[in-house]
A and B are shown apart, each in its own frame.
Chain A
Amino acid sequence: MKVTILAFTIILYTVFQSVGQRNISGNVKNTYGCGMDFVNIIAMPADAPKTILVSTFTDEMGRFNMSVNIGCDSIILKASGMEIAPSQITVPNRSGSYEIIVENRAVELKEVVVKSKKVYSQGDTINYNVGSFLSQTDQSIADVLKKMPGITVSDAGQISYQGKPIKNLYIEGLDLMKGHYGIATNNIDPNNIATVQVLENHQDIKALKGLRPEEQASINLRLKEGVKGVFNLIATIGGGYGDEELWNNSAIATYFRRNSQFLATYKGNNTGEDLSQELYSFDNDYSRTSNISSISMPSAPGIDKRLYYFNRSHNATFNNVYRIGQSGEFGINAAYLNDRDTRQSHSATTNYLPDGGVNTVDEMMSGTARMQKAYGDLTYMNNGDESYIKEQLKFDLSTTDAASRIIAVGDNVSQIGKTDTYRLLNKFHMTHRNSSDRGFEISSLVNIEKRPHSLAVFPNLFPAMITGEVLYQHVDFRNISTENSAGLLSVLKVGNLTLHPSAIVNYHHNALESSLDMMRNNLTLDYLDAGLGAEMMFSTRNIHASLYLPMKCRMFRLDNRLDGDITDKKRFRVEPSFNFTYKFNSSHNLKAAAMLNYLTPSIETLYSGRILTSYRQLSAYDVTGLYEGLNQHYSLGYDFKNILSMSFAGAEVFWNRQSPEVLYGSYYDGIVQRTISRRTSENVDMISAKIHASQGFDWRRLKIGTSFAYSYYDSPLLVQDAVVRYTGNTLGVNADISLTPFKWLSVSYQGYYSQSATQQKGYDRFPWLRTVTNKASLDFTIPGGVTLTTSLYHYYNNFNDGDRSFILLNAEAKYTIKRFSFTLSCDNLLNRKSYLYSGLSALTESKAIYNLRPRSVLLKIRFRIF
């Protein structure tokens, strides 16, 4: 019986199930009768249209088939797909075949873009996503780099990472600019750059990878895909009015490919933009001659140059690099600058004398300097895995003509000065390494330089020593130098210890000729450094230590050709240097360094005939022996970075001690000043500490950077034939903040506070000199796409008489339509006429009033030609 009931129940259930289960099929066609592929079909009860019963998709022919099991009267069949407008039909709740006609129409979708990480790391490479830092008003890659945590950019375009200048700036792995990369940072359009890569500890010579660590970081700019192989030409023309007609024009052409790159620029303005600083070379190719005498011009006040620079400047640069073969490249860099600078100032310089008295010189100056400068560099490099060769030929030419008038203590002085420099520099570097890390390294430098300069002064302020109403002086300073070293790589390897021996031969020839009335100088200083050195290195995964011990025989010869005196000096010198790095992990890094070297005599302090170093200073050196001095330098530093939290920080402490054998100073006598010298056994000590931190935030693109620096020095000073000791303390705090609270608003702020004081031993400390500099700018975009920028400059100086605070205001409006960008700017809105600046250094206090550029209006149109 039980079995019968169970069987009956199963049969009934099956019957009801088959009755409840409806098979609904059909097809979906568009209005042209074509079957629609991959259309969603949802079945919903008509009385509860939010409930999904079942769903399916159409096949390639637009057919569908589904089973529905519900007890309602009718069912809604809804068809939806990406290429059709949603459509629905209501059908009776029974098995059947239906046709759904749909209209072709793409679904409008709201896209959600995933933001890339702002900063991420990969090994020793830190990648900054440019899009995450870019604002509408950013004109150059420098503007964006400034907002990246851990990175700072100077006005000249020099980039520093973790407080230290970078070694190279690459664009897509090619070193287009060589040392002149300020042109690139100040001109490359940030919209073309996808990623900024910081290459930490980047050894750019492949053959030295793993053999010699590199402390400086380099930066590589990675371009957006669409930019590669595209010629860009962006031109700007601008005109306006201040107290004269103003113009500001530029053209920037770029072409970047994997195998060749090109950047050419032209800029011209009389609106206060300094074009010379872009052309600085960040290579350490320092000049080996200097101006012995120079025309006195108003010195630069410690404010933004754009505010006081009355200029007419033009510069043009050409930079090109080609890849040759697998690992070679050839580059050409050339530039020309033409600049005229007119300045006016009224200054009072007070020197505190050992007897407690003071010597004050009051000067009213106005002057104009015209400068022309050109350089050209040719570079060939082959950077292979085993061999490296770099040959660089550089020339520099410059000529400066200056004239100024000075009213000082009743004298009306006119000056004319001219300086020419000619320089040819050749650098060669070759490295070869075999598979067992052995090899050699050769480097050579040849420098040929000539610097003739002249100074004419009327009237003669030294009638007791020089006859004549007009002083005319000609000085020629020449240098021929060659610095050579050849070394072996890893000649000895024991465990983690390696030894690199080297030989050094350096030769310097300096010649100085001068004539001022009857006073003449004609002398040469030659010195030869020759010796052997050894570098011992200990390297593990976390530790790197190196000790370099060069042992040199140093020979000097001073030939005073006027009287035939020849002075020789020979010394054996050991100048050790030690470096130590401990890398705790990828975040923490400890560094220490120590160095000892000797100061070499300089021809600039060896002439005995008088030279007019400025219109009111006559110099000659009584103590004319070949004196040296000892220099010791010690440093300890710590770096921290956390890429995930975008935190960068570091601290460094330095101690520097100099022990000169001769002390140089001044003897003041009213307006005039004489250079004096004396043997000494005193030391100069300087201790400084620096802490810096930089933090980036995802929130509103906030970046906060700050640094704190303190220095203390204790030094002897020769004044009025007496040696006094003085000490100084300087403290500086720097802050920079950038923030984009909304897409239409961005704010940036830079602030600097400095406090310094000096004290002569046995006397009271001078009052603290406190200065504050605040720069803030606010960019906001109003409806219609116009971006308004206001910049506020605030300077405070507690030594100033009267008003100690000084405020300047600039405003700018920018509108971009298609490839045109219009900028209307108004500088010095408050029309401030002059700026008062007070300073204190050693035992010299100065106060000066500078003329400022007047209120001006300028309209610039920037447009992309290609």
Chain B
Amino acid sequence: MKQLFLFIFCMLVSKTGLTQETCSRIIDKANPVDTAKYNVTYSLKYKFHPDIRDYYDDVRIVQIGKRCIKDYSDIINHFDSLATEQIRRGAESYSNVSGEPWPLEIIRPIRGEKADLKYRLSISAFFVYQDSVPSLEWNFSDEGADTIMGYECRKATAKFAGRRYTAWFTPEIPLPFGPYKFGGLPGLILKIEDAERQFIWEAIGFQKTNTPIIEHTYRDGNDKRCSAAEVEKTLVRYFKSPVGFMISEMGGDSGKVHIVGKDGKVMNNADASQISVPYKPLEIK
């Protein structure tokens, strides 16, 4: 199946950013790990570097269960489920994910300091790794309350992995959780952003539910088990030359990669390999 992707994969690349297709995966192997009691939907605006002007958009679902919390992209999940259905009906190939959702999925325990993460880097294999979930030292602010989704919110700040975050949480929903690894506040985090506004999560939906929290095992067996440090190193290498990275991932065969510049013109692969994309990781260790 991977062969199919190699030929259809396209990139739009320029010096200020890149548009890449995230591959859909077949999600017919599912293992329920918990039952979600609450679903929080966040809109995530993010960019790879604070200096980049435009944001990418994603819709994130945070499922809160009794034992664990899962945070994933609703957009990617939607296209994965469509691809699975297409394959089930006998299609030979399927389309990739539209848009540029954040290709990270995280399942973390309610209590505990280790999270299981999966990062989907374009056509490359999945990175499957574990990372720590630190307890954050929140400083509460007495500033005037904001209202999000009709809930009155309080403000708190904390430092985490080299960034200073401001969170808006609501004591009206006494769930000490939030998106990504954030939590530990006496109420659900409805909005959180870093000081450089590179990552902005804001809740747009909250529902009681009774749906399973699913851990997927992807059919192609291309999961790469590695450490968080290795993932970060790979991402740095990827953004230094996304095209070069892609070509090397395909065994150095540049004929399989089709590069289109933002002006719509096909680019020479050697020139395209010179282009790097500014990147600043979420966690600056």
Binding site for B on A (CB under 8 A): 38-42, 50-53, 55, 57, 80-82, 86, 107, 109-114, 120-123, 125, 173, 206, 209, 326-327, 385
Contact = CB atoms under 8 A, between A and B. Distances in A.
12 contacts: A38-B110, A42-B171, A42-B186, A52-B140, A53-B140, A80-B186, A109-B172, A110-B150, A114-B59, A114-B204, A120-B98, A123-B94
Contacts of A114: 41, 59, 204-205
A298 to B, nearest CB: 50
Nearest to A84: B174
A57 B90 contact: no
Given A82-B175, A326-B90, A52 B154 contact: yes
Say what secondary structure dominates the interface of chain B.
loop
B140 A51 contact: yes
Contacts of A385: 90, 92
Contacts of B206: 109-112
Nearest to B187: A40
Contacts of A109: 172-173, 206, 208
Contacts of A51: 140, 142
B207 A111 contact: yes
Interface in B51-94: 59, 79, 82, 89-90, 92, 94
B90 A55 contact: no
A385 B140 CA distance: 62
B138 interface: yes
Given A111-B207, A385-B92, A80 B79 contact: no
B85 to A, nearest CB: 9
B149 interface: yes
A80 B174 contact: yes
Given A82-B175, A109-B173, A55 B92 contact: no
B186 A40 contact: yes
A81 B204 contact: no
Contacts of A40: 171, 174, 176, 186-187
Contact of A55 (B82, B149, B172, B186): B186
Contacts of B156: 52
B95 interface: yes
A268 B154 CA distance: 63
7 smallest beta-carbon distances between A and B, as pairs: A114-B205, A123-B95, A52-B140, A40-B186, A80-B174, A55-B186, A114-B41
B185 interface: yes
A50 B144 CA distance: 11
B142 A121 contact: no
A39 B149 CA distance: 24
B176 A173 contact: no
A406 B204 CA distance: 70
A113 B187 contact: no
B186 A52 contact: yes
Interface string B143-155: 0000001110010
A641 to B, nearest CB: 15
Nearest to A57: B176
A38 B207 CA distance: 20
Nearest to A123: B95
A53 B150 CA distance: 25
B150 A112 contact: yes
Contact of B142 (A50, A111, A120, A123): A50
A109 B175 CA distance: 12
Contacts of A125: 82
B98, B154, B186, most chain A CB atoms within 10 A: B186
Given A52-B156, A112-B149, A113-B207, 16 more contacts: A38-B110, A38-B176, A39-B174, A40-B174, A52-B140, A53-B140, A55-B185, A55-B186, A82-B175, A109-B173, A110-B151, A111-B207, A125-B82, A173-B89, A206-B90, A385-B90
A80 B149 contact: no
Contacts of A39: 174
Nearest to A173: B89
Contacts of A209: 92
B239 to A, nearest CB: 27
Nearest to B154: A52
A81 B174 contact: yes
Nearest to B149: A112
Contacts of B138: 55
A109 B186 CA distance: 16
A730 B138 CA distance: 74
B11 to A, nearest CB: 16
A57 B41 CA distance: 24
Nearest to A110: B150
A173 B176 CA distance: 44
Contacts of A110: 150-151, 206
A114 B41 CA distance: 7
A288 to B, nearest CB: 36
Contacts of A80: 171, 174, 186
Given A40-B176, A51-B140, A51-B142, A122 B98 contact: yes
Contacts of A111: 206-208
Contacts of A82: 37, 173-175
Contacts of B205: 112-114
Contact of A112 (B79, B82, B207): B207
A52 B142 CA distance: 8
B207 A107 contact: no
Nearest to A220: B89
B265 to A, nearest CB: 14
B94 to A, nearest CB: 8
B250 to A, nearest CB: 20
Contacts of A57: 176
Contacts of A112: 149-150, 203-207
A53, A109, A113, most chain B CB atoms within 10 A: A109
Nearest to B95: A123
A173 B85 CA distance: 10
A80 B174 CA distance: 6
Interface string B125-166: 000000000000010101000000111001010000000000
